[in-house]
Amino acid sequence: MTTPAVPMRLLPDGAAVETDGSLSIASCRVTDLAEEFGTPLFVYDENHIRSRCREAVNAFGPDQVIYASKAFLCTAMAKLVYDEGLLLDVATGGELYVARHAGVPGDCLVFHGNNKSLDELEMALTAEGGSRPGVRHVVIDSFDEIDRLTELRKRGLPVPRVQIRVTPGVQAHTHEYIATGQDDSKFGFNLGNGDAARAVERVNETGCGELVGFHCHIGSNVFAVDSFAKAAEVMARFAQPYELPELTLGGGLGVAYTLDEEAPNIASWGNVLLDACASLGLSSKIMVEPGRSIVASSAITVYRVGTVKDIPDIRRFVAVDGGMSDNPRPVLYSSGYEAFRVTDVAAERPDHARLVGKHCESGDVLIFDAALPAGVKVGDLVATPVTGAYGHSMASNYNKVPRPAVVFVADGRARLVVRRETMDDLVRLDLP
């Protein structure tokens, strides 16, 4: 049985099939991009990202959408989402540094993390560029963090606006490694055992922060809108008596990666969250932190095939010049992907192979059972769509493979936004 061509809905908005059958994005031919910038290569459709940012701002309102930069961050990305009016969620001192380096003012940043160090908190409380020092707010995740903020207050640092991260006890239907809303979680204060309420008391007693709201995030790549509705309801009920001005309901909206997946769009996610809160009469400003749904389907990764190995009656392996170092999601979460050949993107895919990388592990798999067009051979350009989130941001140098370059394409022009790592980069931290 043959598998149909990769559907256009999995490709960036600006994807088109040229008359010779090959793929272009934003009027840039992907074969030309591979020639110019090399492979593996992340190609992001800039207008696609802008359109998802606008969809989110339309659904929730200005100042209410915080881009979760862990999904994909570089200087150009931080500039782009800031330019679209989004705030940025940064979860480490490193992410904060990159966002500030891009010129995002401190008061447009939200500082996250389950184990923020004293130094990182100090960075957050003194971040510059806004109308006052410090980030827009810190999301407090633990009692130890309350102690650290109290210590910084005693030292005379600015007192931050804070939200308290609550674990609502809602099980999201997603992989266990990216589910965060259940009681057994390293994140936040449990609502069920009274820790969340105790955290409010501690913040008020210590004066370590100005409490402006609550936060929850039940998990990532969640498709079931009823999980979001349930969490919103639980949080709205908890938050109501405190009458605080803000409630953040996390990110987590899933995206389709494969032929058989369908995901809700940002607008319907917005309706579910806002309706759940409105039906309980909550008047707080509702904020969200989408990452994946803003950026995942805006990008593809382009690889060059290097070896094809047939083991009769067992399987065929097609090996490309990247792998688990540029996309660890299949290995981490058994995530599925599609693949296609760049030069005949609309071709049916009758062949099957395991699409693997170049790392020294049998587990270095991009697609366990990839449907591919007939006759994929050495030298072909093969691409995987929907790699814009948690690909480059999770990339490593395993086996000392240099991390790929990233290009943004828009209106027929490509610009390099992250250059490919060089061999020199691989030793730049080493001392003799």
Binding site for ligand PLP (CB under 6 A): 68, 70-71, 89, 112, 217, 220-221, 250-253, 289-293, 389
Q: How far is the CB of 26 from ligand PLP (least distance, A)?
A: 23
In this complex, which beta carbon is closest to ligand PLP, that of residue 40 or of residue 181? Answer: 181
Beta strand extents in 126-240 (DSSP E only): 137-140, 161-167, 189-190, 210-215
Q: Tell me the two tokens of residue 265.
A: 């769009």
In this complex, which beta carbon is closest to ligand PLP, that of residue 292 or of residue 359? Answer: 292
Question: How far is it, in rounded angstroms, from Cα 36 to Cα 416?
Answer: 10
Determine whether 70 is exposed, middle or buried from the number of CB atoms within 10 Å of its CB (0-12, 13-18, 19+).
buried
Nearest 5°: CA angle at 138, between 239 and 417? 125
Question: How far is it, in rounded angstroms, from Cα 235 to Cα 267?
Answer: 21
Q: How far is the CB of 181 from ligand PLP (least distance, A)?
A: 10
Which helix (H) or strand (E) element contains residue 356?
strand 351-356
Are the beta carbons of 309 and 317 closer than 8 angstroms?
yes
In this complex, which beta carbon is closest to ligand PLP, that of residue 142 or of residue 293? Answer: 293
Please name which of 42, 56, 1 lies closest in space to residue 404, comparing C-alpha atoms: 42
In this complex, which beta carbon is closest to ligand PLP, that of residue 112 or of residue 230? Answer: 112
Look up residue 178 and give its amino acid.
Answer: I
Q: What is the DSSP letter of 288?
A: B
Q: How far is the CB of 207 from ligand PLP (least distance, A)?
A: 25
Q: Tell me the two tokens of residue 432.
A: 């003799």
Give the residue ranges of DSSP H helices in 296-364.
329-333
Determine whether 376 is exposed, middle or buried from the number of CB atoms within 10 Å of its CB (0-12, 13-18, 19+).
buried
Question: How far is it, in rounded angstroms, from Cα 216 to Cα 171?
Answer: 12
Question: How far is it, in rounded angstroms, from Cα 21 to Cα 161?
Answer: 54
Give me the DSSP letters along 212-238.
EEEE---BSSB--HHHHHHHHHHHHHH
Q: Tell me the two tokens of residue 141.
A: 């995740």
In this complex, which beta carbon is closest to ligand PLP, that of residue 291 or of residue 404? Answer: 291
In this complex, which beta carbon is closest to ligand PLP, that of residue 89 or of residue 233? Answer: 89
Q: How far is the CB of 79 from ligand PLP (least distance, A)?
A: 19
Question: How far is it, in rounded angstroms, from Cα 92 to Cα 328?
Answer: 20
Q: How far is the CB of 299 from ligand PLP (least distance, A)?
A: 14
The residues near 348 (Cβ < 8 Å, ≥ 6 apart) are 2, 3, 4, 5, 373
In this complex, which beta carbon is closest to ligand PLP, that of residue 262 or of residue 430? Answer: 262
Q: How far is the CB of 382 from ligand PLP (least distance, A)?
A: 26
Q: How far is the CB of 150 from ligand PLP (least distance, A)?
A: 23
Q: How far is the CB of 74 from ligand PLP (least distance, A)?
A: 16
Question: How far is it, in rounded angstroms, from Cα 302 to Cα 23?
Answer: 11
53 classed as catalytic: no
Look up residue 81 and give its amino acid.
Answer: V
DSSP-derived 3-state class of residue 425: helix
In this complex, which beta carbon is closest to ligand PLP, that of residue 221 or of residue 343? Answer: 221
Which residues are marked as active site? Answer: 360
